[in-house]
Amino acid sequence: MTVKMRGGVAVVLAVVLAVVLLQCLPPFAANVTYDHRALVIDGKRRVLISGSIHYPRSTPDMWPDLIQKSKDGGLDVIDTYVFWDLHEPVRNQYDFEGRKDIVKFVKLVGEAGLFVHLRIGPYACAEWNYGGFPVWLHFIPGIELRSNNEPFKAEMQRFTTKIVDLMKQENLYASQGGPIILSQIENEYGNVQRDYGPRAKPYVEWAAAMATSLDTGVPWVMCQQADAPDPIINTCNGFYCDQFTPNSDKKPKMWTENWTGWFTSFGGPVPYRPVEDVAFAVARFYQLGGTLQNYYMYHGGTNFGRSSGGPFITTTYDYDAPLDEYGQIRQPKWGHLKDLHKAIKLCEAAMVATDPTTTSLGSYLEASVYKTGSGLCSAFLANIHTKADVTVTFNGNSYLLPAWSVSILPDCKNVALNTAKINSVATIPRFVSQSSKADTSGASLSGWSWVNEPVGISSDKAFTKDGLAEQINTTADASDYLWYSLSIEIKGNEPFLQDGSQAVLHVQSLGHALHVFINGKLAGSGKGGNKDARVSIDVPVSLVAGKNQIDLLSLTVGLQNYGGHFDLKGAGITGPVQLKDSKSGSSIDLSSQKWTYQVGLKGEELSLFNGDSSLWMSKPALPTNQPLIWYKANFDAPGGDSPLAIDFTGMGKGVAWVNGQSIGRYWPTYIASNGGCTDWCNYRGPYNSDKCLTNCGKPSQTYYHVPRSWLKSSGNVLVVFEEVGGDPTKLSFATREVGSLCSRVSESHPMPVDMWTSDLSGHKQEGATLSLECPLPNQVISTIKFASFGTPQGTCGSFIHGKCRSTNALSVVKKACIGSRNCSLGVSSSTFGNPCAGVTKSLAVEASCA
């Protein structure tokens, strides 16, 4: 077709048409390969820093902020598992909506300019229910999960292909111009491979071949898999991976899980990992040839609904990550790691150009140098002694290396960062009760109503069976709850009814917890724990002549997620169940009787959690401290935008929903033991999950996250199912706020890494600097609670003056900081005077923002 028009118009139309055509094409596709040193992206080796954020453990409205804070913290890559059970809850029925919208999550990461490592698995572990497998897999005839088993391989290949095709359809692989530069198949199989015997190795080889056949255009990895076949990259998981070596000199050294903390279990204390140790581990990894490491977790988030595994994993999955459960920055962990990332990136050009040369500087002392013929030189100096600080000589200069630390010298001369010396601000987060607020911005619960959950069998779907049934095979994990009910006849001359006799019901269960009801009344309860889920209880019971009803409510608290054949780990009451006479010692075994079973609760069947049933009652008085009650209340959303939680103090155990969405299991009555916690944890020396503990003698979890995006401005509905008894009127809302911010910097600290530029001249004139910054952009420093230059002692929130102290520190800090969002002060005698000559002095400050 020929169109006649003036030249200028034709040119404009041609330009517009070209732009439209370009918009229809994918962006420039990246070529991702690898060699022995690193991943190679578009022909360029890269030093990459990654962090795990699991998309369903937060909400879509949180994702952009989490991703941006990750980028601001110096990450290049966001890593996530894919959760099979979430996306295919029923075989061949898929769900990618809401928190399950993995495509949206990956696109958001790409839009922020970051890469993605998509860990398809599809086994995840992740302290996730059943390790991320859908429980329906268990019921496929002849199946053996994670083995050279045809039924399992068919399902695994089908789902893996589904995810890969979904990503391809959206052009999300780097080869298509998208952000995904890596994918993972299987997960930590090498840890349990022995349990699968001769079926294991063929399975590993099959999984590798299956994955690579999907033609993603990016490399695949297997973590903790020393025999990963080429071209799969085998990677390391652990608290430390500096000594890890890949199984081929053609593969790069990669660390897929650097555990930034540890998970919390109901009944356990709360673990944490000092940032000095995390930074030490990271620096050691890059010192000894590593080029990609991933923080597991960078943001842990929340186990909403029934997603937590374990068993006994708490609803919070905070993990002591740099971004806390609520998405707030955890300081000093986030800030110190950000500084570490900057220091490492200053070394990147030298690191990707060559292999390190490591030499000894003495006992427990090492220097690793990356030096090129073109003059690039970067060095890492390490002191791996757990106690002794040492001064070393390197290239003719002296360097003080604290115990268990690494100094990074981007130019082989000047220290940009030492992992044990924190320049970052520290913050003290706190929960602020909304009920204590005098204004109308607080939230309160009102309009209470309730429904009694029937004891025992109430559903026409109940069934009878001889003997005791294993729970997971019976419920298929459709509910946490399974009723075991039995009616027995007690004759008047039975010893259980004679004077002085006491009947005892003995119940043994595979776990995870159970409640015993006799003739409709709660008689006793028992629970297992994370290390041993089994329950064995002896409950004194009062029986009557004639018919007696025994109702046992068995419940799970997340299914097993780890171990060889973890999927076969059972639950529920498998016996024996015995009625014993405490006086005579005689007993009746009830295990083989004809029991009646009901999967789930009546309230679940009626969807009471939605709050819109006609069964809710508000009269007479609200029942409290009674078992098996559904409660409902209304509330308006509290003002502001601070993260929101519910304080469950006063309740026993159960599940809660807000506007029909489950915020998870609550259990504030499961108290951690008193032993093992300390006021201070020494970061020096190898870390393990029991080394640094807090919250001993207290509930494992008290506050439960309520995402703001689930709320309306008014007319919100809270529904709570209470198992054992509590007082719902004691429930209260709280916001997550930053209380104080602190910093403590000594004269011996390196200057802030932000002050480094490509021009290194004059660095010796720069000194240690203390910086403070309010966490929110609309805040300013309003109060200086403490300031001391000299030898201050203590930690953030509990600083005290030392024997040596400057008299003007408080006034100097106030003048520099009050009214500003951020401030910086030189840590030197020229700023504060010299209160004690010959002593290395520190500046400690605690402030608050408003």
The residues that are catalytic are 188, 257
The distance of Cα 119 from the centroid of its chain, to the nearest Å, equals 16
Q: What angle do CA 809, 813, 814 make, to 5 degrees?
A: 115
Amino acid at 563: G
- Cβ(398)–Cβ(392) under 8 Å? yes
> Could you tell me the CA-to-CA distances from 230 to 53, 131, 204, 219 in Å, in that order?
28, 26, 11, 11
For 63, half-sphere exposure in the C-beta direction (CA atoms, 13 angstrom radius) is 24
Question: Residue 302 has what DSSP assignment?
Answer: B
Neighbours of 819 (CB within 10 A): 10
CB-based burial of residue 263 (10 Å sphere; 0-12 exposed, 13-18 middle, 19+ buried)? buried
Q: Identify the sign of the CA torsion 562, 564, 569, 575.
A: negative
CA diameter of the chain: 113
Residue with tokens 């006034």: 811
Q: Which residues contact 614 (CB under 8 A, 6 or more apart)?
A: none
- Which neighbouring-strand residues pair with 44? 41
- Cβ(736)–Cβ(642) under 8 Å? yes
Q: What angle do CA 834, 839, 843 make, to 5 degrees?
A: 65
> Could you tell me the CA-to-CA distances from 180 to 29, 211, 218, 439, 562 in Å, in that order?
11, 15, 8, 48, 27
Please choose, from the candidates 348, 346, 341, 408, the residue with its C-alpha nearest in 3D space to the C-alpha of residue 74. Answer: 341
The distance of Cα 653 from the centroid of its chain, to the nearest Å, equals 22
Distance between CA 768 and CA 402 in Å, rounded? 16
Dihedral angle computed from the Cα positions of residues 312, 294, 210 and 31, in that order, rounded to the nearest 10 degrees: 160
Q: Which helix (H) or strand (E) holds 342?
A: helix 333-346
Distance between CA 788 and CA 212 in Å, rounded? 60
81 is written with which tokens? 């598992």
DSSP 705-751: EE-GGG--SS-EEEEEEESS---GGG-EEEEEEEEEEEEEEETTSPP
DSSP 456-511: S---TT-EEEESPPPHHHHHTTS-SEEEEEEEEEE-TTSGGGSTT--EEEEEEESS
- Cβ(783)–Cβ(820) under 8 Å? no
